Amino acid sequence: MADLLAGLGDAGGWSKRHLLGLEDLSAEEITLVLDKAEFFRKALDAGERRFPLLSGKTCCNMFFENSTRTRNSFALAARRLGADMVDFSAATSSLAKGETVIDTARNIEAMKVDVVITRHRTPGTPHLLAQNLHCSVINAGDGPHEHPTQGLLDIMTIRQRLGRVAGLTVAMVGDIAHSRTARSNIWGLKKLGAQVIVCGPSTLVSPRWQELGVEYSYSLDAILPRVDVLNLLRIQFERQYTRPFPSVREYALLYAMDSRRLARTKPEILILAPGPINRGVEVTPDVADGPQSAILDQVTNGVAVRMAVLWLLTTVKS
């Protein structure tokens, strides 16, 4: 065990108590998380499952939106680090009884909880909690704003597959307007020196995205030949009040990544997609399951990134 953990090294000067968004992190901090996550990924691949770094700590999922995979990815990460995990997620939780979200979180903290992992449809909720709690807060998605561990796992997968991030051109394709994944990726990728293009129908991509230092395009076919990474976002029908395009079939004709389009990309193109994927909408099965796709790698890296984040946040003295 001592041998196992020796490879992890120390926390490298990490000083943040919360992970609220990639906008707040420096390039050095992002790289530190990725390096630590790389350690956990390799150890997981080697069959290790028990890393007693958070023994005696308690982590808490407090999801106010339905989530199965992110919630369980955090739960697995916490348990593999030896933490106790408790789940306060529920649409039917005390909030329905008129309690404020700060009161709910303070109540949970009062049970001697060290890390609160939260998802809420209102942007800024994790920041509000961070200001009002003594324990660590992780943003697992605040409306369309940020989802930093998703950004980190995407960037980790790019670095793993292509060996670097700086100088790459990464296109985020699809439902940019409603995507916290897009925002977290943009902040992280820009800081590490990548170019970002946001691409999708004009109802979902606005020229104002240029203010974040990214390029925009309404045509996937136009940008295909010059991108190194395609990150295919899911159309989130559940977040939309009006239909942003005439039909799913029309969307797929213009934006689905299929073998015909794949033939026009650079040969080493990397295909990412934060699940769940809609096969035949944003990506066709042959591409999703092909050698350019790193979709399942993203999932495994997700556990590794969350282990790294949980460990780093809890190494900070409060």
226 is catalytic: no
Do residues 101 and 94 make contact, with C-beta atoms less than 8 angstroms apart?
Answer: no
Pick between residue 24 and residue 84 the one whose CB is nearest to a second copy.
84
Pick between residue 57 and residue 127 the one whose CB is nearest to a second copy.
57
Do residues 65 and 141 make contact, with C-beta atoms less than 8 angstroms apart?
Answer: yes
SS3 220: helix
Task: Quote the least distance from Cβ 82 to a second copy, whole Å.
Answer: 10
What residues form DSSP beta bridges with 63?
A: 119
Task: Quote the least distance from Cβ 95 to a second copy, whole Å.
Answer: 8
Catalytic choice (147, 180, 183, 190) = 147
Rounded to whole angstroms, the Cα distance separating 163 from 184 reads: 20
Rounded to whole angstroms, the Cα distance separating 260 from 98 reads: 53
Q: Which long-range contacts (CB under 8 A, 24 or more apart) does 124-127 make?
A: 125/64, 125/101, 126/18, 126/20, 127/20
What φ, ψ does residue 282 adopt, rounded to 5°? Answer: -90, -15
Task: Quote the least distance from Cβ 168 to a second copy, whole Å.
Answer: 24
Residues of the shown chain interacting with a second copy in the complex, contacts defined by CB under 8 A:
44, 47-50, 55-58, 66, 68-69, 72-73, 75-76, 79-80, 84, 86-88, 90, 92-94, 97-100, 103-104, 106-108, 110-112, 234, 238, 275-279, 281, 296-297, 299-300, 302-303
249 is catalytic: no
Catalytic choice (70, 104, 265, 284) = 70
Catalytic choice (42, 69, 249, 264) = 69
User: Any residues with CB less than 8 A from the CB of 103 and at least 6 apart, and which?
Assistant: none
Cα of first residue to Cα of last residue in the chain, in angstroms, is 27
120 is catalytic: no
Task: Quote the least distance from Cβ 195 to a second copy, whole Å.
Answer: 29
Catalytic choice (17, 18, 41, 119) = 119
Pairing of strands 229-232, 270-272: parallel
Task: Quote the least distance from Cβ 187 to a second copy, whole Å.
Answer: 25
277: exposed, middle or buried (Cβ count in 10 Å: 0-12, 13-18, 19+): middle
Pick between residue 103 and residue 221 the one whose CB is nearest to a second copy.
103
18 is catalytic: no
Pick between residue 84 and residue 258 the one whose CB is nearest to a second copy.
84
121 is catalytic: no
Residues annotated as part of the active site = 69-70, 97, 119, 147
